[in-house]
Structure 1
Amino acid sequence: MAEKRLSSRERIVKSALELFAQQGTTATTTKEIAERAGVNEVTLFRQFGSKQGLLLSVLKEAPVLEKMQAALSEVVGANQPLTAYGETILELLTQAPELVRSLIGESGQSPIENRQALGQVLQQANLQAVGYLRSAQVRWPGMSVEAIATLLNTLVIGHIVLAASSGGLWQNQQDFLTMLNELFRQQHLQEESIHGQSEVSSPLTVQPHEAVIDLPAEVVRSLFQTAKKQGPQEYALVYVLFGAGITLEEAAALTSPCVFASKSQHLLTIAGSNASAIQRQVPVNRWIMGNRYGTYLKNPLTQWLKTQSDEQTAVFVLADGKALETEGLLALWDAIAAGTTMSAGSPATPFQARQTWCIELLMKGMSLENLSILSGMSLIELEPYARRAKEKAALEQALAIDQKKT
């Protein structure tokens, strides 16, 4: 079968990416791009307006994040996760050093749309890094995984820009990676010394892989019933955790302007938890594990919000009207879940509500890519959820076969 011929637009974007990678954006002319793509400049300008408009399309359409995702998937489980991450990202970026240097070094002269597009790519790259580090189950005293990811990407991208601009400050790439790992190791040793801990084996402590343990429908129903008896705020909390799959930290940060309800939808706007996190919108599901909890306009959350005064902006509050922090929400949850006992002998956790939400959406046909957008988790983080959803689907199929009359 003959290869599908690329459209003129696709050829222009592909040619631009190749030339930007080889020469940088400033040194590349629209004439060169047009010639490489086999079109005239008029066609290029008609479709993209200018070289900056073309660069914007390249930023939005280049498969950089997909390549990053695939590359990181291959090194999950490495003995030295920081070194493996650095090597992987450097290998990707060194394929287009001039493009990286141009994008970062010349961003101040770029239109705001281009800077925003670049910022979105960097934020998504940070999200991929967070997913990789969490999949490796790494911990570092005094820093969140998000902060580690941000620092790592800053150092690695900075190294590439310096190397492309002036030859760099290191004799070779391996020296940089060795010192990168040593930097984290020494800081870790200092933290451990301060806290009086003697057992130190690596810059990051690798924890056992956390299993996905979603909750059965009867347990979820029991939690809803208990929460409803305890009060409208408790009922709203359980509804939000199972209906939108947000974390306790995100629930604590919710304010009434973040909640939008109409006849056709009920949405929450979740703010990023740090500078590198992306704001996202999440729908609140009415149907949860086979049971319906009201309508978009009338449900446990909207009913709870109606009881609050206009001066109160936080969704979950103390008796004096002050916002409930994460610890307070955890106390509410613990009181609700006290009567549930899982197979391990401990009560259900708020994180299991999020896991249950993820699995239910996957079982109903949602793609991993869309779940990543809604949950704020990377595709790497969601891989265990995909396996669990397939496992449940296989179990359901096996049970259905067993129940058929022969």
Structure 2
Amino acid sequence: MAKSSRESLIQAALELFLEQGVHQTTTRQIADRAGVNEVTLFRNFGNKYGLLQAVLNAAPTFRDLGEGLMEQTIATSDRHQTLKTYAGECLAALEQAPAFVRSLIGEAGQFPDENRQALGHRLQEASQYVARYLEHTMPARNFAAGQLSGYLGALLVGYVVIEATSDDHGLWTSRENFLDGLVGLLLGETLAFESDAVTDPPPEPVQDLPAPCVHQILTQAKAASSQDYALAYLLLAAGLDPAEVVSVTRSQHLSAKTQHTLQVSDRQVPINQWIGGKRYGTYTSNPLTKWLKSRKDESPWLFIQADDDPVGLSVEDIAQKWADWAQALTLFPHSHPRQAKPTWCVEMLTRGMSVENLSLLSGLSSAQLQPYVQRAREKAALEEARQLDQK
């Protein structure tokens, strides 16, 4: 369907503003590109700044990015990468229109109040999406999510301005370095800065479970139900966090003759047959595959509340189930499902997996895995001492 004259003018103005900025763009250029008479422009918008307001009101860029951010909030538990991707896309959008950005920054003082208000509304709209994301993902902080989302927008624009106007500023080593630092600050993560005066605090000890406790948890889960058994098996055979488990669907599960894997966020995770020195089935026949084959519901989730209410389990549901399984543990009566991942990571290292490969499978960085490496060494030393004592 052919565009109306108004739509053509808005599109032409947007293209020219992006290419050469607001100040350098004339109403004659806009009318010519739109293929209409300049009088039509004045009749519809009054002047160039009336057209600028229409462009700002119609611009979908940050709204689309914001909606994409909220979709990723549901699809993945990797909050750092999700927010980093969104911030990177925002930067890309800004960097694709340097002339327009310079115009908005350098000429904003000359804009009519209506233009400044429209620009403010677009920024507020983008900020609201980010605020909603932060409320879902970040821990409690001293600042409200709305404030932090505003800081994000200001820092992104500041980055573009600095990069466009200066060289060798030394504020960050690369675009990637800037985004990692920005997201880390917003999400309250610990950033490692090079400084001789600051000493990193010692890492917290790894809270993994010994093999007898692992087998006892699996035994209790098996006695509870086939779903409980499958859930405990997946936690301990793949080293997943509860938050990762609740986001997984049945379509992300793959069981074949030579492999048993799960697609978790942006990585593929193997589901082991051996846990703590004991084998639990085969690639195609194990607690998880048996549970899935027994399902009669159409729910997409890997684990559900009940057969008559096939809604996906929550993190709290998993924690309660784990507490029920762990009641009989003597050494770890207050165990938590978060211990499944450290237990799995330490076992993989003990069995000879490299830190680099474990990083790919676990989603943890090499630095984050160092406490697990130390724990694996401790367990190897204990095993060596035990073997020497038997000679």
TM-score (norm 1): 0.51
* Structure-2 separation of matches of 1:322 and 1:142: 34
Residue 231 (structure 1) aligns with: 225
Structure 1 residue aligned with 2:246: 252
* Pair 1:341 & 2:330 matched: yes
2:260 equivalent in structure 1: 266
* Paired residues for 1:377-388 under 5 Å: 377-388=364-375
Paired position in structure 1 for 2:277? 290
After superposition, give the CA deviation of every residue in 1:32-80 in whole Å (9 maximum; x if it has no partner). Answer: xxxxxxxxxxxxxxxxxxxxxxxxxxxxxxxxxxxxxxxxxxxxxxxxx
Match of 1:318 in 2: 305
1:328 aligns with 2:317: yes
Cα separation, 2, equivalents of 1:173 and 1:252: 39
1:266-319 residue CA offsets vs partner (Å, 9 max, x unmatched): 010112xxxxxxx11101000111111111111000000112125121111112
Aligned partner of 1:355 in structure 2 is 342
Residue 163 to residue 210, structure 1, CA distance change in 2 (3 Å): same
3-state SS, counterpart of residue 261 of structure 2 = strand
Distance in 2 of aligned mates of 1:361 and 1:151: 42
Deviations 1:202-256 (A, max 9, x none): xxxx998532021111111111111111110110011000100011111111211
* Alpha-carbon displacement from aligned partner over 1:129-160 (angstroms, at most 9, x marks no partner): xxxxxxxxx9652899xxx9x99999877655
Structure 2 vs 1, CA of residues 346 and 157 (structure 1 numbering), >3 Å: closer, same or farther? farther
Distance 1:229 1:293 in 2: 15
Distance, in Å, in 2 between the alignment partners of 1:379 and 1:107 is 37
Alignment of 1:8-47 (within 5 A): none
- Look up the equivalent residue of 1:337 and give its one-letter code: A
**Residue in 2 that maps onto 1:165:** 164
Q: C-alpha separation between the residues in 2 aligned to 1:304 and 1:151?
A: 46
**Alpha-carbon distance in structure 2 between the residues aligned to 1:285 and 1:328:** 24
What is the one-letter code of the residue matched to 1:260?
L
Amino acid of the structure 2 residue aligned with 1:263: K
Going from structure 1 to structure 2, the CA distance change for 1:359 and 1:313 (only over 3 Å counts) comes to: same
Whether the aligned pair in 2 keeps the contact of 1:228 and 1:234 (CA below 8 Å) is yes
Shift of 1:162: 3.1
- RMSD, aligned CA: 4.0
Distance in 1, matches of 2:151 and 2:273, equals 40
**Any conservation in 2 of the 1:220–1:289 contact (CA below 8 Å)?**
yes
1:83-104: per-residue Cα shift (whole Å, max 9, x none)? xxxxxxxxxxxxxxxxxx9999
Q: Is the 8 A contact 2:203 2:371 kept in 1?
A: no
Alignment partner for residue 240 of structure 1, among 234, 237, 257?
234
1:212 partnered with 2:206: yes
1:157–1:231: structure 2 CA closer, same or farther, 3 Å change rule? same
Question: Would you say the 8 A contact 2:326–2:333 is kept in 1?
Answer: no
Classify 1:317/1:395 alpha carbon distance in 2 versus 1 (closer, same or farther; 3 Å): same
Gaps of 5+ in 1: 1-100, 109-137, 189-205, 272-278
Per the TM alignment, residue 328 of structure 1 is displaced from its structure 2 partner at its CA by: 1.2
Alpha-carbon distance in 2 for matches of 1:143, 1:248:
27
Conserved? CA contact 1:341–1:347, under 8 Å: no
Would the aligned equivalents of 1:240 and 1:246 in 2 still touch at CA under 8 Å? yes
Q: Secondary structure at the match of 2:295?
A: coil
SS of the residue corresponding to residue 285 of structure 2 reads coil
Report how far residue 332 of structure 1 moved.
Answer: 1.2
**Could you give the per-residue CA deviations for residues 148-182 of structure 1, whole angstroms, max 9, x where no partner exists?**
9x9999987765553332139xx9959xx9xx99x
User: 1-side partners of 2:218 and 2:227: how far apart?
Assistant: 12
Give 1:264's aligned amino acid.
T
360, 385, 391: which is aligned to 1:398? 385
Preserved CA contact (<8 Å) 2:318 2:337: no
Q: 2:211, 2:354 → 1: CA distance? A: 22
Q: Hey, what's the Cα distance between the residues in 2 that align with 1:325 and 1:306? A: 22
The farther-off stretch of 260-269 and 208-217 is: 208-217
* Higher Cα Rg, which structure: 2
Match of 1:56 in 2: none
| AA in 1 matched with 2:217 | L
1:141 equivalent in structure 2: 141
Deviation digits for residues 357-385 of structure 1, max 9, x if unmatched? 00000011111111111111111111100
Q: How many residues were matched structurally?
A: 236
Runs of 4+ in structure 1 deviating by more than 4 angstroms, as ranges, are 101-104, 150-161, 171-174, 206-209
- Structure 2 distance, partners of 1:396, 1:315, is 37
Distance, in Å, in 1 between the alignment partners of 2:151 and 2:234 is 34
TM, length-normalised to structure 2: 0.52
